[in-house]
Structure 1
Amino acid sequence: MTIIVIVVVLIAALFYGVYHLLNKAKPLGEFCQVKGPSGVLNLEIEQAQIAATIAAVATRRKLPDRAVEIAYVTAIQESKLLNLPYGDRDSVGVFQQRPSQGWGTVKQLQDPVYATQKFFAALVKVKRYQKLPLHEAAQAVQRSADGSAYAAHEEDAKILAAAFTGRVPKGVHCWYPIADQPPAPQPAKARKELVRALGDLGAASGDGTRIDASSERRGWLIAAWSVANARRYSLRQVSYAGVTWKSDSGHDGWLADGKAVAGRVDLA
């Protein structure tokens, strides 16, 4: 009987140890996790960068979330949210727009900011686009061979729109391997690129480490964009509204930080 008890205790201890080891294990690879009211998505970092750009351009144009969702179903179907240098016939870029159809040059269409601006410029010309089903609005812009294909991505588009527009706080966090000697952070370059998509950011520190946010939602949009682009600009941390994301523990998401203030996104 004593032997049986000892065996049971040892087995229980073994399972306890394995359970906690697995719970503490860091996710492998590099991903961004996006959380919305209706679910969670894992994206490649490039996909997250594209998604962040789409939301920023829409905000600059003062477009509703419905427009962002339409752009997402289109980009997911056309390119899987990737900036492709190829496509059907002469199609290129995130939305697979064709230079021969007047969308722009190949170089222009491989700039996600430009491509997104062109997409929204066409979308707002669609009569009552906000009232149309997402896939019908997307098809009205793209004129694809099979417009029904966009409908398969509606739920994912709603999750992305909620997080990247800033409607859902702490909706985006990323993680990736950190080099032994990482490059110096480039917050000024990050801010400059954000301005291209989002427009004037108002007052900021000279080195770009501080970005003012005129509203909580806008602050979370800027924070989400910054985290999605953190690897690109070697950002070590992004702070906003009482929480901070850090590159060396990105899998943990946003953690409480008493130094992170509302009304300002800090990059370092």
Structure 2
Amino acid sequence: MRRRFSPGVIAIIAIVAVLAVAITVGLFALLDRPSTDEGCRVTAAGGTLDLEIEQAQVAAAIAGVAHRRKLPERAVVIAYATGIQESKLYNLPFGDRDSVGVFQQRPSQGWGTPEQLLDPVYTAGRFFAGLVKVKGYQKIPLHEAAQEVQRSADGSLYAQHEENAKILAAAFTGRAPGALHCWFPLEGGETPVPAPAPAKATKELARTLGAGTTLKAASRRQGWLIASWSLAHAQRYGLRRIGYDGRSWTAEGGEEQGWTADPGASRGAVRIS
């Protein structure tokens, strides 16, 4: 017996389908959006990606935790591909059932409390703790490694984000110097920039990269990781200037300027103010 639906039910189904498509398209456009008065841009060998500042902060936190755990760049790539699929690298306070955070981990499955999972540093640590237990995770296909950690409904979806994840990893791990640029309005707007708070920024940096971490870099790559982290968090901590490795970034430069030559910026330590 064929089941017939009333015109009203059919209309509701059509509306829901249209909304689902619209939401999906909107989410997948977030990594390739038009320029706005604030945002970040990553330019590396693999291409260019535009991000919201929140996405850049999440990406910087993930790279920082990986650095603290002495993990290879491949681990960061896997984490980024997973985060892009699960949340578009947003720290979501909602999700399927009780899922929350960047990786949409579930408190009911033992990942942690909702408050903990909304901390990108904590949730990245939990993701990496699971990833390092995956045998051969550096060599097996990305989506297989990610699925071993996440146990999602369709793990094959992680694979489609691998190239974007590689671009992000090159920038936020410090392998590609000066690959990240961020801009935001200094006056007016809905979210005024706070007074410079470099001490608070340094404290959060140490929480991410590990106790005892300072702006002094042990290597050039670590220096650019710190510089990228600082830039991603410049708006949050009111930073106006970041200098490292013969280059500097200033908040006054806006979207077009980026990193510029600065002979006074040394390679020994990242300068923030």
Question: In which range does the TM-score fall when normalised by the shorter chain?
Answer: 0.7 to 0.9
- Equivalent of 1:126, from 127, 134, 148? 134
Instruction: State the 1:28 CA deviation.
Output: 3.7
Give the C-alpha shift of residue 250 in structure 1: 3.6
Q: Give the secondary-structure state (helix, strand or coil) at the position aligned to 1:76.
A: helix
2:162 corresponding residue in structure 1: 154
Displacement after TM superposition at 1:176 (Å): 1.1
Counterparts of 2:126 and 2:178 in 1: how far apart (Å)? 29
TM-score, normalised by the number of residues in structure 2: 0.84
- 1:229 matched to 2:229? The reply is no
Q: CA deviation at 1:183?
A: 3.1
**2: distance between equivalents of 1:119 and 1:81?**
14
Equivalence for 1:256: 261
Which residue of the other structure, out of 182, 193, 196, is the alignment partner of 2:204? 193
Which residue in 2 is equivalent to 1:112?
120
**Counterpart Cα distance in 2 of 1:229 and 1:98:** 27
Report SS of the residue matched to 1:174: strand
Amino acid at match of 2:102: V
- For structure 2, the 5+ residue unaligned runs are 1-34
Percent identity for Structure 1 against Structure 2: 64
In structure 2, the CA distance between the partners of 1:163 and 1:201, relative to structure 1 (3 Å rule), is farther
> How many angstroms apart in 1 are the aligned matches of 2:252 and 2:235?
11
2:101 maps to which residue? 93
1:165 aligns with 2:173: yes
8 Å CA contact 1:201, 1:212 repeated in 2 = no
In the alignment of these two chains, the number of paired residues is 235
Indicate the larger mover: 86-95 or 254-263.
Answer: 254-263
Quote the Cα distance in structure 2 between the aligned partners of 1:28 and 1:50: 19
Equivalent position SS for 2:204: helix
**1:221 partner letter:** L
Structure 1 gap ranges (5+): 1-26, 205-210
Asked which structure has the greater CA Rg, the reply is 1
1:214 aligns with 2:215: no
Deviation track 1:94-151 (CA, whole Å, cap 9, x = no partner) reads: 0000000000001100011000000000000111111111111111100110111111
* 1: CA distance, partners of 2:130 / 2:143: 15
Counterpart in the other structure of 2:195: 184
Whether the 8 Å contact between 2:174 and 2:225 is mirrored in structure 1 is yes
- What CA RMSD, in Å, does the superposition of the two structures yield over aligned residues? 1.2
Q: Whole-Å Cα distance in 1 between the matches of residues 185 and 175 of structure 2?
A: 29
Secondary structure, counterpart of 1:264 in structure 2:
coil
* Paired AA for residue 187 in structure 1: P
- Counterpart Cα distance in 2 of 1:75 and 1:159: 14
Aligned residue for 1:212, secondary structure, equals coil
Question: Which amino acid counterpart does residue 184 of structure 1 have in structure 2?
Answer: A
Letter in 2 for 1:70: I
